[in-house]
Every structure is written in structure tokens, then in C-alpha cells.
Amino acid sequence: MDTGVHVVILAAGKGTRMKSPLPKVLHPICGRPLLAWVVDQALSLGPAGITLVVAEDADAVVEVAREAARDVPLSVAVQTQQRGTGDAMRAAAASFGANPDTPDRVVVLYGDMPLLTPGSLTGLVEAQAQAGPGGMALLTAVVDDATGYGRVLRGADGAFQRIVEHKDASDAEREVCEINLGLYAFSSVTLAADLPRLSNDNVQGEFYLTDLCGMAAEAGRGVEVRSLQDPEEGLGINDMTQLAEAQRVLQGRINAEHMRNGVRIDDPATAYIQHGVTIGAGTHILPCCVIAAGVVIGSGCEVGPFSQLRPGTVLEDGAEIGNFTECKNTVMGAGAKAKHLTYLGDTHVGAKANIGAGTIFANYDGKTKHKTQVGERAFIGSGTIVVAPNTIPAGVTTGAGAVVTRGAKIEAGETWIGLPARKHASSKDEK
């Protein structure tokens, strides 16, 4: 762990443009809250600690952050009034202020920017180290349309000069396409000294971290600038449209990682694979599938098209889930198949079993979910309904349209047919 870094995550914004009762940083993106992605960014720096700045009554936000932070100490600072990013950092200052054990530098992240990569953040920290004693660094992006953003102005030698807000920029300055993202790395000692000097003498009456860049430059301290190689990393989430755009980017990264690991995905644009899914090499994902966080898929499996694998689903090696099939809290044994129009809920299907088209495992009685066990090499005929709880032993066959009632007493190798299903007499029994 690099004890030279402390990360502050600003997450006190109200997010009114989301027009949602859910706090902005808790909106789900690829199967986890937005804030959890940002905590991962912080963890990529190996920090000594993390400070989360929140508004009042933000218990749910804090809970998500603590879970995502795992074993890294996380402290919470409350910004009682929304008075700008500088004010938010003042609330956090106790975590890196007059403390002899304070890390050497403080990195500022935002709870609504999920796309930053570890490489970009490492570059920011390295830039701060190059800035010299008391120096700072900031991340920028070059964009096609900089309207509304603060412009980063450089000298003829490319060195940082200052930041000018769009409303204050001249026509020539507005032609600059390099924008300030508000992402900084500071000397912790200098930051603690400069924060009390921030002024809110502006139209908005707010305190801005941006002003610290000017303070550093005026004092002759180094200000290093690093521009993102991919400006998309700098996307912040302010409304549902931007949330969807960020999800598209993250989904692309997730799918690309699986494909690098040997998973065949026919149409990555329609494969919705959430964070934290495990897929073995040689598995084939067909178009239009939804695979939820935590699902485990073995090697040599097939999923889709038009399949949904919900939480708790495990496909062992060689299992196949086909079109318009939904699994929830279900284990499919090695080589087991459910190829068509089937619902598998709270079910354990043994190896090599075959689940016919239109089968439903009726797991819910209106009050409680119940489990069903299907044995190895069982053959469940098309249109069968199995009412849980139930056990279908190894080698059992059910006829098309059979309704296996709750707790049926079925023996291994038997055939059951009808509504309600009954044991079908074998030729030997009839003689």
C-alpha cells in the first residue's frame, strides 16, 4: 500500500438534473452503484485512506462507499451547505490537515465520474511528484465542444498559466478546447494551508478548488498538467442521458475484457454483462443476453440468444442456456441444457440433464420461494411445470405438458406423465 496518497471523493451534490429520488451517486451502472466505480478508482492508487464528502442524511451513500472500500480506512465528512468544491474540501480537511501521519499528497475525485482509468490517475500522481515542493497537478481533456467548461491556458512553452471560466473568457480564449476536469493532486501540507485562503467573492458566492491553481502559480509553485489520452474518461454524470452513455463505455470495457480472456461474444453491442461476472474460456455468448452481477459461467458453455441470467446463477462447464430462457438462483450442472423458452428459478439441475422447451419451475407460492432438485441425466419434457419444493431424481423422464405437483414421490429412472403427473407404468409392469 502506498501510504503517500490520500483520496478525497466529493459526493455531496444533489443531482437535481437526474430528476430521480435516488441519490445521483447510487444510480446503478453495469450492476453496481455509480459511486462504487469511483471507489475502485481510489483503490487503484493504493491509498492510505479515503475521505468521502457527502451531504446530510447520506447514510445509504456512506454504506455503499464503505462496502466498496473493503479494508482501506474510509472517513466521512459532511458538507452541510452546498457552497462549491472548495467548501467541500474544507469539510474534508480534518482527514489530511494538521496530522503528523498525513500522506504526502491528496488526490481529488468525484462521485459521478466513473470512467477514469488507473493509468490516468497514476499519471496524475506522478505529475504532482514532478511539480516540485508544494506543487500540484491537474487532469484535463481536449474536447470538440468546450462550451460551458473552464479553459486551461498554457504559455508558448506549453506550461500551465491559468484557468479561465467560460463566462469570463475572451473570444480567443473560448477557442481553446482543453478543459479543466476538476481532478487534482495536491501536496497535502500546501493544500491544508491554502484552503482557508479561498474566497467566495464571486457571482455564485461559492468556494472553488480551481482557485488553488492560480494560488500555486502566483506563489511560483509548480503546476503540472496531464491531458487524458481518451477524453471519454472525463465524462461526468448529471442526467440520465449521460448515465446511459457512461454505461455504454463501461459495458464495452467489460465485454472487451471477457473477449481477451477467450470468451466469444457474437455481438458485443447487445451483450449486457454486468460487473463481477465470471466467464470461462471457450464460452459462447449469443446476441441479446443479459447477465447479472455475480453470475458464474464455466468453460465451453453457450448462452443465448435472448437469455437472462439473474443473480445466483451458476453454469458449470459445458452447460447450455438457449433462447428466451431465464435463470435465477439456479445451478446448471456440467453439460446440462435448457435450450428454449424456459424459466429456471431456485433450481439445481444435475449434469447432462435436459430441460425441454416451455418448462417452468414454479418456485413461488405467493409467500415463499422454494427449491427444486433435478438429478443427473433427467429428461424434462416440453411444457412441463414442476411445482416446488420438489425433487426429480436422476434419469427421470416427464412427458410433454406434465404438471409435477409439490413433493411428488418420484423414484430414479421413472417416467411421469399427465396433469397432475403420475407414474407411467412400464411395459414390464403391464405384463
**Does 427 score more than 50 pLDDT?**
no
Q: What is the mean pLDDT of residues 63-82?
A: 95
What pLDDT does residue 61 have? 97
343-388 pLDDT, tens digit each: 999 999 999 999 999 999 999 999 999 999 999 999 999 999 999 9
Residues 291 and 146 in one domain: no
Residues 167 and 35 in one domain: yes
348 is catalytic: no
Residue 161's domain is classified under what CATH number?
Answer: 3.90.550.10
406-426 pLDDT, tens digit each: 999 999 999 999 999 999 986
Q: How confident is the model at residue 14 (pLDDT cuts 50, 70, 90)?
A: confident
Residues 100 and 211 in one domain: yes
Q: How confident is the model at residue 132 (pLDDT cuts 50, 70, 90)?
A: very high
Residues 168 and 292 in one domain: no
Q: Long-range contact list for 413-421, CB < 8 A, 24+ apart?
A: none
Indicate the average pLDDT of the chain: 94
Residues 417 and 387 in one domain: yes
- Of 212, 234, 256, at which residue does a domain stop? 234
- Of 213, 234, 255, at which residue does a domain stop? 234
Residues 126 and 208 in one domain: yes
Minimal CA–CA distance to 229: which of 130, 112, 120?
120
Residue 365's domain is classified under what CATH number?
Answer: 2.160.10.10
**Does 429 score more than 70 pLDDT?**
no
Q: Which domain holds residue 94?
A: 5-234
pLDDT above 70 covers what percent of the chain? Answer: 97
pLDDT above 90 covers what percent of the chain? Answer: 86
Residues 116 and 198 in one domain: yes
Minimal CA–CA distance to 418: which of 376, 383, 394?
383
Residues 134 and 99 in one domain: yes
Which residue type occupies 178? E
Residues 61 and 200 in one domain: yes
Q: What is the mean pLDDT of residues 311-331?
A: 98
What pLDDT does residue 102 have? 67
Residues 38 and 76 in one domain: yes
Widest Cα–Cα separation across the chain: 103
Number of domains making up the chain: 2
- Of 234, 260, 289, at which residue does a domain stop? 234
Residues 204 and 283 in one domain: no
Catalytic residue among 340, 348, 370, 424: 340
Residues 40 and 154 in one domain: yes
